[in-house]
Amino acid sequence: MFSHLKAAPADPILGLMATYREDPRDFKVDLGVGVYRDESGATPIMAAVKKAEAARLAEDVTKTYLGMAGDPQFNARIDALTLGDHPARRDGRVFTAHTPGGTGALRVAADLLHRARPEATVWMSDPTWGNHPSVFKAAGMKIAEYPYYDGKAQSLRADAMLDALSKVPAGDVVLLHASCHNPSGVDIPAELWPKIAELAEKQGFMPLVDMAYQGFADGLDQDALGPRLLAERLPEMLLCSSCSKNFALYRERIGAISLIGESSAATQTASSVMLAVIRNIYSMPPAHGAAIVARILGDEALKVEWLTELEHMRNRINGIRQQASAQLAAAGVNGDFSFIARQRGMFSFLGISPEQVTRLREEHAVYLVSSSRVNIAGLNEDNLPRFVAAMKAVLG
């Protein structure tokens, strides 16, 4: 059965993590794996999460099955968080199921699309998160790319993107990142979302928005502006969200898929197919992460505590972006790194060559993936001078 299998290619980030762990140099800097890190380089459990967890442990009375859509309280409260007080919710056009992480939501979306329109193509930004193409291909969907990131100007190829979207055929799907684009850090500006909505309407393609970093760029509402606008202007949309980053619940695997249909009746019909899809993949989602998030969002004091912690994380990322950009300039490092301060979320491309990435790792113990994508949250006041010195040594 298995003897003829060829080994799957190693995940470049996981491989890098292993090399990092084995590196004995105590001044090493990890800018590889995509998790938030605090000032001391740790990824702690949020205080609001700890409290919600303790309360759950004390009060929980059953472990019986939840059902395919998961926790109804979580689903209602995550809708309020992602979509806000939205007309689509008031009109009964939204159906949400909680899923094992944002990746689970994407896979449910992919299987649902395959049931609905197996001939459709899913258009993705060039570049996009490495898991996007593989998840949709695994579900049997065709994929294609639209221009997105300009590596020379470290900014959005807005005209090329709109031009490509103006040619997407009816019935296809366009995958968009709500904010904190992974891997580029370059987001769709507020003024571009209405143009995307216009093109979707004109061409008849459906947006699928991946919102894995709500609250990490400019604020919970600001980061959700794109999907909220699309859901208002368009008859149909899918929204995949994740609580991995903004609740730091990574390993608990909690995310959500929201289907926005043309009418309440259409949403109900489509949601029955979504539930059948879920039944065939993992039957039901795990309860713990959803219970924590539902408790935080349903308790005024816990919610305020969580919002404060989230704001601190966002400010830290944006602050270290400013500092990194300023210190690289002050050290006279060859190149213009002002884009680091302009970009949002955890990731940016440094725009350096794979050879320079290797030198940073081998000679200076600074770890990043060969594409030169860095996790900015891996920087802090302690290691930033070492990072800047390493960049100066390698780039001149």
Residues at the contact surface with ligand PMP, assessed by CB under 6 A: 34, 101-103, 129, 177, 182, 210, 212, 242, 244, 250, 255
Q: How far is the CB of 254 from ligand PMP (least distance, A)?
A: 7
**Cα–Cα–Cα angle for 301, 315, 181, nearest 5°?**
105
Cis peptide, bond prior to residue 9, ω within 30 of zero: no
Which pair of tokens denotes residue 342? 């302009």
Name the residue nearer to ligand PMP (CB basis): 318 or 375: 375
Q: How far is the CB of 103 from ligand PMP (least distance, A)?
A: 3
240, amino acid identity = C
38, amino acid identity = D
What count of residues does the chain have?
Answer: 396
Residue keyed to tokens 């289907």: 259
Report the 10 Å Cβ neighbour count for 258. Answer: 27
Which pair of tokens denotes residue 65? 């099955």
Q: How far is the CB of 249 from ligand PMP (least distance, A)?
A: 8
Q: How far is Cα 318 from Cα 376, in angstroms, rounded to an integer? A: 9
Which pair of tokens denotes residue 238? 């899918």
Alpha-carbon separation of residue 320 from 39, 67, 241, 316, 378 (angstroms): 10, 43, 25, 6, 10
Which pair of tokens denotes residue 384? 């930033």
Q: Which of 129, 172, 187, 193 is catalytic?
A: 129
By CB neighbour count within 10 A (0-12 exposed, 13-18 middle, 19+ buried), where does 26 fall? exposed
Which of the 8 DSSP states describes residue 43?
-
Query: At 175, which helix (H) or strand (E)?
Result: strand 173-177
245 is catalytic: yes
Name the residue nearer to ligand PMP (CB basis): 248 or 333: 248
Helices and strands counted in the chain (H then E): 16, 13
Name the residue nearer to ligand PMP (CB basis): 210 or 309: 210
Q: How far is the CB of 129 from ligand PMP (least distance, A)?
A: 4
Helix (H, G, I), strand (E, B) or coil at 38: coil
Are 242 and 102 in contact by the 8 Å Cβ rule? The answer is yes
Q: Which of 71, 172, 223, 245 is catalytic?
A: 245
193 is catalytic: no
Q: How far is the CB of 81 from ligand PMP (least distance, A)?
A: 15
Residue keyed to tokens 């221009």: 147
Which of the 8 DSSP states describes residue 376?
G
Are 97 and 278 in contact by the 8 Å Cβ rule? The answer is yes
142 is catalytic: no
Q: How far is the CB of 125 from ligand PMP (least distance, A)?
A: 10
Name the residue nearer to ligand PMP (CB basis): 215 or 255: 255
Q: Which of 71, 111, 187, 210 is catalytic?
A: 210
Q: How far is the CB of 127 from ligand PMP (least distance, A)?
A: 11
Which of the 8 DSSP states describes residue 338?
T
Which pair of tokens denotes residue 123? 């258009």
Q: How far is Cα 158 from Cα 6, in angstroms, rounded to an integer? A: 41
Enumerate the active-site residues. Answer: 129, 210, 245
